[in-house]
Amino acid sequence: MFDLSYATTYLIGIIVILITYITWYFYNTYQYWKRRGVPYITPTITPFGNTLDLYMGKITFGELFSNAYLEFKRRGEKHGGLYYMNKPVYVPVDPDIIKKIVISDAHYFPNHGMYLNPKEDILSGHLFNMEDSKWKDLRVKTPSIFTSAKMRKMFITMQKMVDPLRVWLDEYSTTGKSVDIKSLLTRFTTDTISACAFGIDTNTLKNENEDLLHHGRQFFDYQWRLLNNTLVVTIPRNVLQMFNFRIFPKQTEKYVVDMFTSIFNYRKKNNIYKNDLTDTLMKLTERREEEKDYTGKRVMEPLNMDEFSTQMFLFFCAGFETSSSTLTFALYELAKNPDCQTKLRNEINRVLVKHDNKLTYDAIMEMKYLEHVIDETLRIYPIFPIVARVCKEDYPIPGTDVTLEKDTFVMVTNMGIQRDPEYYPDPMKFDPERWTYENKLGRPFVANMPFGEGPRICVGKRFGLLNTKLGLLTMMKDYDFTLSDKTTKGCKFVPNQLILKKTGDVWLNIQKLVK
């Protein structure tokens, strides 16, 4: 007869062994930085490490690492360590170490360490996630898209998107209704990048292409993917790939591939050439290219249609989200600081008079205070608040006795350094004057890098800034903005997000100025 007491004892024994092993495993893991002589913040509770507030919805990813940076800085440390669940994460503080990691010694840290499985999850294979030679092959081709000559040409196309934006602004200023400014600006930036990069009229400002906006937001909608992010960081990639783990929904993948395949086929069939992003990527689908680097001659495989569609999707998503968010935060601060708003408007009018009241590429590039306003906005609100890297091989950290082990995650927190009171006194004060030539002197180069730095700096930086300048200029020139009572007071961020999003919408009152 089966002995129930024996089975119970056996089961209890197994449970005790498992608990003992798990306890030992996390205790041993959480000694990692101590054993290596790196300052660290004591983990709060197993198995969360230092991420409990993140999982409780109290902070964002950016705030997690920014808070750690500021704590290590307060202690006078050059660097420090955290634990993302069971994963040790290195947080550099000293600007010289940061510069080495992202620029001088970038070959030790060539990859972001994001999940990549393009065979099963096509959209995960975009340029930001690409690694090593695959990334290098594509990255070396993309800067030619954003030369000064091409930016001038794109600016003409961008200006055509301004008229529909003015129609909306006129309507709201006439009715006296406040406007959810982020929603409006997302449509504007969607239309500009679609026209400049893909040569198509999306007309989202006219309430068309809601599907395009929906699927574009999937790229950054990490609220529902917090568990996914945890799995990506804590579980080896090959294990996730074995189970065909996905980042992007199937319906978004199908929509994207179908849409950009259609654009590709239409241009090919009708022999359309516009010398834009689409043409550049189309060329890369047609041939193998031989190139020389330090290893000698190597062959670049052509992009297949899935890869072509994925890169197009990346440029679209990165373009509309970063520019619209930056514009939203800029207007939020300008609405709170009317003196800055007036100074910006005066500069716009002064420069335009100098250029016969014609808005040209040269005119907008001459507007230094406009540039300062955007710089200050991105300082306080870096849309991508962390610069992630993975150590490819053991790396001796300069000025220390510490060696980072291969495969260690590194989180450079641009949000932390850009809010460091040593470099920016009263860091939460919106002050565009910080960016005059005189005020920038003596500030570390890496104290401002909202687009990243080094070889993996954002390839679309110039386009994003120009798009943002045009949008802000358009609104500041003829309209005055104040905060609506519907806008949530204070500026807290949506938790669990990889990018910065303000909790609650930014509602603004718009008044058209009388000339």
Residue 225 lies in a domain: yes
pLDDT average, residue stretch 62-80: 97
Q: Tokens at residue 410, please?
A: 């590194």
What order of strands is seen across the sheet that includes strand 179-180? 179-180, 507-512, 479-483
Quote the pLDDT of residue 88: 95
- Residue 149: what residue type? A
Confidence check: pLDDT of 297 > 80 = no
Distance separating alpha carbons of residues 252 and 420, to the nearest angstrom: 39
Instruction: List all residues 6 or more positions away from 126 whose beta carbon is below 8 Å from its beta carbon.
Output: 310, 311, 313, 314
Residue 113 lies in a domain: yes
Strand stretches in 167-295, DSSP E? 179-180, 289-293
Question: What's the CATH number where 241 sits?
Answer: 1.10.630.10
pLDDT tens column, 214-252:
777 766 664 445 555 666 667 777 777 777 777 778 888
424 is in which domain, residue-wise? 48-512
pLDDT average, residue stretch 352-357: 96
Q: Which residue has the tokens 């070889």?
A: 455
pLDDT tens column, 468-489:
999 999 999 999 999 999 998 8
Residue 268 lies in a domain: yes
Domain count, the chain: 1
pLDDT: which is higher, 117 or 62: 62
Quote the pLDDT of residue 222: 47
Quote the pLDDT of residue 226: 53
Residue 234 lies in a domain: yes
pLDDT tens column, 432-477:
999 999 999 989 999 999 999 999 998 889 999 999 999 999 999 9
Quote the pLDDT of residue 24: 82
If pLDDT is split at 50, 70 and 90, which confidence band does 118 have? confident
Residue 7 lies in a domain: no
CB atoms closer than 10 angstroms to residue 338: 12
pLDDT average, residue stretch 142-163: 86
| Separation in Å, CA 44 to CA 50, 408, 498 | 6, 21, 22
Quote the pLDDT of residue 294: 46
Residue 431 lies in a domain: yes
Q: Is 458 annotated as a binding residue?
A: yes
Residue 507 lies in a domain: yes
Distance separating alpha carbons of residues 192 and 471, to the nearest angstrom: 10
Residue 260 lies in a domain: yes
